Structure 1
Amino acid sequence: MTTTGEEDATARGGPWWWARRRSAVFDWSLAAVSAAECALEGVPFARDAGIPVAAGVVFGLLAGSVLLVRRQWPIAVVLVAIAITPAQMGFLMGIVGLYTLAASELPRRIIGSLAAMQLVGTLIVTFVRVRQDMVRGDLDLGDWFVPFASIATSLGLIAPPLLLGLYVGARRRLMESLRERADSLERELQLLAERAEERAEWARNEERTRIAREMHDVVAHRVSLMVVHAAALQAVARKDPEKAVKNAALVGDMGRQALTELREMLGVLRSGEGTRSASVPLAVVGAAAEASRVMEEGEGPCLSELDELVGQSAAAGMVVDLSVEGEVRGYTPEIEQTAYRVVQEALTNVHKHAAGAKTHVRLAHRVAEIAMQVENEPPPEVGSASSARLPSGGNGLVGMKERVVGLGGVFVSGPTEAGGFRVSAVIPAA
């Protein structure tokens, strides 16, 4: 079994070029057996060559011990095995060396060339040996036996280790490829998990922003009108009791409307609690999906309610002029709610910062878009604070811009040359 990456670095505990200690022990054992074999085969070789037997034994020991470097230099081992084949030595070294060469990462052409050289060398040596035995009379067979025995012996010594080495090498490369692919998939899964967490965090932030924006739109306008009516009620309570009663009734109506809208919003939020058992991001996504469903089904303010919205501001003492241009038609609930919220927040800002100023609300239905503009004139006393003392968090304009830009529209706001303030927005109709 092979290892890659960090596992391979951890597994490397052997000396020199060996990855493991057991691999080193195994190669040392093979080298010892090969050296002993070559030493024994060196005795008849020395007698046939007419050299001292000790020289043949030493030569065999040196030649057989080359098997020790089979993992580092397999080509050298095979070349030595081919070189000592005429001396009828190194059969174990030839088999193991060829197997190691075939299982290595060397090019196939090199493996094939060396295997062919060893096959030819073994074939020639076997042919000569069998021929000599037949000439001496040790074998009494037909002439056909010499080539048959030579070919069979050569193939028997070369083919099995070569094929086994090729199979083991291919299997090792396949295992390494699968391991690398598994590591790659693990890294991809980790990246996907990180991206999923980032998307969940983004969804949570978006949901918080949406909730804050909705809460601001619902509460700010209603409560601002309630504060304005309460201030007027305080001013006329003793002078004009009938008007005071009327203002008190308006305050109650607006409070009930604010509570109704808050209950609807809290109902949307509670609908996502059922998914909390799975995970917090699922609950957030569930609430966002429910909010989108509510918006798509039109359960919210629409442009047909602008008259009522303007009437509430007029009842609070604001002089509001509403004008509608173009042919009135229906839009998607999201577009209508966004347009309504822009006008609502702009009127709220007039109540806060320019109490008593005359305000012009313009709505234009165009071919491919809907445009709205809320512009107020300077307040009666420029620079004076509102008698209602309404607080401002500075999030109204930001929320309006986020809504409009989120639908692909354009939002512009700023003071006018006359000293008033103008809020303009254009939203695509599609």
Structure 2
Amino acid sequence: MTTTGEQHAAAEKGPPWWWARWRSAVLDVGLALVSAAECAVEGVPFARDAGIPLAAGIVFGLLAGSVLVLRRRWPIAVVLVSIAITPAQMGFLMGIVGLYTLAASELPRRIIGALAGMSLVGTLIVTFVRVRQDMARGDLTMGDWFVPFASITTSLGLTAPPLLLGLYVGARRRLMESLRERADSLERELQLLAERAEERAEWARGEERTRIAREMHDVVAHRVSLMVVHAAALQAIARKDPEKAVKNAALVGDMGRQALTELREMLGVLRSAEGAPVRREDVPLAAVGVAAAAAASRAADDESAADGPWLSDLDVLVGQSAAAGMVVELSVDGDSREYTAEIEQTAFRVVQEALTNVHKHAAGAKTHVRLAHRVAEIAMQVENDPPDEVATAAAARLPSGGNGLVGMRERVLALGGVFVSGPTDAGGFRVSAVIPAS
């Protein structure tokens, strides 16, 4: 169902004057009409007792009773008017409703207590005087005890119930408003947590993509670079030295198979680490989701590290580079010991990526690989001499994404280590890294 602009404007237009809802306005107007009618009827005996025209008494009653319409905005004024007309025995409904509204309002308790006490005393005095007059005229034949009894019970009956009911309703209303505000605040906090969890999930996805890209680069780039170098050498010596060409072809095949094996293992780890997608309704449980995601990521990293290379494989790595024509020396200082899988994998990848960069950018240069086992850390350094211009020009067609040094730095810094790289004074290039052993 659609609404026109005029209907929408009429729907948004609130009730007149100070009422918050139309239902409140209708209720107050209805109570004011009943109160005005009551005071008009009670104005007739008041006019007779006061010796004024009946019309004046009726008009006075109508005006006094209609003040009840102001009870929501000015409850104090309504109670004061009801107290003022109490001697005329008028405004009983206005006094009851006024006291209830006053007690349920946000006014200070001392003001509510003072006005309630004034109303109680006023009703008590007026009732006491009227009952004594009735007994004096003979309208009542009760004993003297009846005068204070009737005065007290009447004043308490007209004052205590509306006062207590108003205090209860006001306290309940304030409690509901407090609970509503607390619920709104909790909803806003949950929304903020959901947004923050989504941001963290997006950041985690980006970090995971970067990690996967870095791992793929480390696994494939070195093997493929060696394959390209061997393929170039194979092309150059295929006719001159068939025996060496067969040997190089076998090396290319072995490296290709190793690259495929490592790539297959990595893809298997990624598939096993895949979990159920994060559901939107699970976002408020941000702490559980983040902890589970972190645990899954650590499990995937541990599994990948367990299947990954070890420092004991450095001899094989250096031998592969030597077989590709690189003059490379490996030196190890200190007593070899076991490290965590993540430390060994990172150290191996740093050396591997540094050798790959030598193949790409300094082919033919003599390279020194140094590994030092220290008390609280492990250090590695790969340094090459100035490159051979002819060999470097021949290997210049090797692709380079420019992310090798960045990936090595990220790996080392993630373990709390130090990474330094840059050209040497002799014209070569040096890559150094130090990783804490624990």
Give the TM-score taking structure 2 as reference length: 0.91
For residues 128 and 158 of structure 1, the distance between their equivalents in structure 2, rounded to whole angstroms, comes to: 18
For residues 285 and 428 of structure 1, the distance between their equivalents in structure 2, rounded to whole angstroms, comes to: 22
Q: How far is 1:355 from its partner?
A: 0.3
For residues 116 and 349 of structure 2, the distance between their equivalents in structure 1, rounded to whole angstroms, comes to: 84
The correspondence of residues 69-108 of structure 1 with structure 2, limited to 5 A, is 69-108=70-109
Q: What is residue 188 of structure 2 aligned with on the other side?
A: 187
The correspondence of residues 64-143 of structure 1 with structure 2, limited to 5 A, is 64-143=65-144
For residues 267 and 154 of structure 2, the distance between their equivalents in structure 1, rounded to whole angstroms, comes to: 89
Q: What is residue 51 of structure 2 aligned with on the other side?
A: 50
Deviation sequence 1:77-127 (CA, Å, 0-9, x none):
011111111111110000000111111111111111111111111111111
1:357 and 2:365 correspond: yes
1:341 and 2:323 correspond: no
1:163–1:12 distance in 2 versus 1, CA, 3 Å: farther
The correspondence of residues 141-290 of structure 1 with structure 2, limited to 5 A, is 141-273=142-274, 275-276=276-277, 288-290=297-299
Q: What is residue 389 of structure 1 aligned with on the other side?
A: 397
Select which of 291, 299, 306 maps to 2:300.
291
1:11–1:407 distance in 2 versus 1, CA, 3 Å: farther
Q: What is residue 310 of structure 2 aligned with on the other side?
A: 302
Q: What is residue 27 of structure 2 aligned with on the other side?
A: 26
For residues 54 and 165 of structure 2, the distance between their equivalents in structure 1, rounded to whole angstroms, comes to: 36
Give the TM-score taking structure 1 as reference length: 0.92
Deviation sequence 1:52-83 (CA, Å, 0-9, x none):
22222222111111101100011110111111
For residues 81 and 338 of structure 1, the distance between their equivalents in structure 2, rounded to whole angstroms, comes to: 88
Deviation sequence 1:319-341 (CA, Å, 0-9, x none):
11212222322211111111111
Kindly indicate whether the alpha-carbon contact (under 8 Å) linking 2:421 and 2:432 is maintained by their aligned counterparts in 1: yes
Structure 1: unaligned runs, 5 residues or longer: 1-9
1:415–1:386 distance in 2 versus 1, CA, 3 Å: farther
Q: How far is 1:284 from its partner?
A: 8.3
Q: What is residue 15 of structure 1 aligned with on the other side?
A: 16
Q: Which runs of 4+ in 1 moved over 3 A?
A: 276-279, 281-290
1:12–1:425 distance in 2 versus 1, CA, 3 Å: farther
Q: What is residue 383 of structure 2 aligned with on the other side?
A: 375
For residues 82 and 311 of structure 2, the distance between their equivalents in structure 1, rounded to whole angstroms, comes to: 95
Q: How far is 1:212 from its partner?
A: 0.4
Kindly indicate whether the alpha-carbon contact (under 8 Å) linking 1:356 and 1:380 is maintained by their aligned counterparts in 2: yes
Q: What is residue 5 of structure 2 aligned with on the other side?
A: none
Kindly indicate whether the alpha-carbon contact (under 8 Å) linking 1:377 and 1:418 is maintained by their aligned counterparts in 2: yes
Q: What is residue 7 of structure 1 aligned with on the other side?
A: none
Q: How far is 1:353 from its partner?
A: 0.1
Kindly indicate whether the alpha-carbon contact (under 8 Å) linking 1:354 and 1:386 is maintained by their aligned counterparts in 2: no
For residues 279 and 265 of structure 2, the distance between their equivalents in structure 1, rounded to whole angstroms, comes to: 25
For residues 287 and 315 of structure 1, the distance between their equivalents in structure 2, rounded to whole angstroms, comes to: 39
1:384–1:292 distance in 2 versus 1, CA, 3 Å: closer
Kindly indicate whether the alpha-carbon contact (under 8 Å) linking 1:319 and 1:359 is maintained by their aligned counterparts in 2: yes
1:12–1:340 distance in 2 versus 1, CA, 3 Å: farther
Kindly indicate whether the alpha-carbon contact (under 8 Å) linking 1:213 and 1:399 is maintained by their aligned counterparts in 2: yes
Q: How far is 1:382 from its partner?
A: 7.8
For residues 231 and 396 of structure 1, the distance between their equivalents in structure 2, rounded to whole angstroms, comes to: 23
Structure 2: unaligned runs, 5 residues or longer: 1-10, 284-288
Aligned residue pairs, count:
419
For residues 394 and 171 of structure 2, the distance between their equivalents in structure 1, rounded to whole angstroms, comes to: 85
Kindly indicate whether the alpha-carbon contact (under 8 Å) linking 2:363 and 2:391 is maintained by their aligned counterparts in 1: no
For residues 336 and 107 of structure 1, the distance between their equivalents in structure 2, rounded to whole angstroms, comes to: 73
> Bigger CA drift: 207-216 or 240-249?
240-249
Name the Cα RMSD after superposition. 2.2
